[in-house]
Structure 1
Amino acid sequence: MLLNYQLKQAAKHEPANKNEIIFIIHGLFGSLSNLSGLAKELQANFDVILVDVRNHGQSPRSRSMTYPEMAEDIFELADSLGIEKISVVGHSMGGKIAMTCALLQPQRIKNLIVADIAPVAYGDRHSDVFTGLQSVSLLQAKNRTEAEKILAGYVETPEVRQFLLKSYQRGDDGFDFVYNVDNLHHNYHLISGWPAIEGEYTDSTLFIKGERSDYINEKSMESVMTLFPNARLKIINDTGHWLHAEKAKTFNRLVVNFFA
Structure 2
Amino acid sequence: MKLNYKKIGQGPALVILHGLFGSADNWLSIARDLENDYTLYLVDQRNHGDSPHHEEWNYKVMAADLVALLDDENLASAHFMGHSMGGKTVMNLAMLYPERIDKLIVVDIAPREYPVHHQSILEGLNAIGLDRISSRKEADDILAEYEPIPTVRQFLLKNLSRKDQKFVWKINLKVITEKIENVGEALSFDHAFGKPTLFMGGANSNYIQDKDKEDIEMYFPNSHTIFIKNAGHWLHAEQPTAVVETVKAFLGKGQ
User: What TM-score bracket applies, with the shorter chain setting the length?
Assistant: over 0.9
Contact 2:9-2:34 within 8 A present in 1 as well? no
Match for residue 101 of structure 1? 93
CA RMSD of aligned residues (A): 1.4
Q: Deviations over 1:120-176 (max 9, x none)?
A: 111121000000100123674322211111111101222211111112122214122
Match for residue 61 of structure 1? 53
List 4+ stretches of structure 1 deviating above 3 A: 137-140
Letter in 2 for 1:243: L
Cα separation, 2, equivalents of 1:6 and 1:88: 15
Cα separation, 2, equivalents of 1:223 and 1:173: 49
SS in 2 for 1:110: strand
SS in 2 for 1:235: strand
Match for residue 16 of structure 1? none
Letter in 1 for 2:7: L
Match for residue 240 of structure 2? 248
Contact 2:15-2:79 within 8 A present in 1 as well? yes
Match of 1:119 among 94, 111, 114: 111
Question: Cα offset for 1:216?
Answer: 0.7
Across the two proteins, how many residue pairs are aligned to each other?
252
Letter in 1 for 2:23: S
Relative to 1, partners in 2 of residues 1:137 and 1:210: Cα closer, same or farther, differing over 3 Å?
Answer: farther
Cα separation, 1, equivalents of 2:78 and 2:178: 30
Cα separation, 2, equivalents of 1:191 and 1:199: 21
Q: Deviations over 1:165-190 (max 9, x none)?
A: 11212221412221111111111111
Match of 1:52 among 10, 23, 44: 44
Match for residue 2 of structure 2? 2
TM-score by length of 2: 0.94
Cα separation, 2, equivalents of 1:256 and 1:176: 38
SS in 2 for 1:166: helix
Q: Deviations over 1:56-112 (max 9, x none)?
A: 111111111111110000001110111111110100000000111111111210010
Match for residue 231 of structure 1? 223
Letter in 2 for 1:25: L
Cα separation, 2, equivalents of 1:249 and 1:150: 35
Question: Cα offset for 1:194?
Answer: 2.3
Q: Deviations over 1:15-64 (max 9, x none)?
A: xxxx4211001110011111011111121111111111000111111111
Contact 1:28-1:93 within 8 A present in 2 as well? yes
Q: Which runs of 5+ in 1 are unaligned?
A: 11-18
Cα separation, 1, equivalents of 2:222 and 2:127: 44
Following superposition of structure 1 onto structure 2, how do residues 134-145 of structure 1 map, counting pairs within 5 Å?
134-137=126-129, 140-145=132-137
Cα separation, 2, equivalents of 1:116 and 1:6: 23
Question: Cα offset for 1:198?
Answer: 2.6
Q: Which runs of 5+ in 2 are unaligned?
A: none
Percent of aligned pairs with the same residue?
38
Match of 1:187 among 161, 179, 194: 179
Question: Cα offset for 1:257?
Answer: 2.1
Cα separation, 2, equivalents of 1:89 and 1:134: 30
Cα separation, 2, equivalents of 1:196 and 1:152: 37
Match for residue 259 of structure 1? 251
SS in 1 for 2:128: helix
TM-score by length of 1: 0.93
Contact 1:137-1:176 within 8 A present in 2 as well? no
Letter in 2 for 1:182: K
Cα separation, 2, equivalents of 1:139 and 1:222: 49
Cα separation, 2, equivalents of 1:184 and 1:106: 27
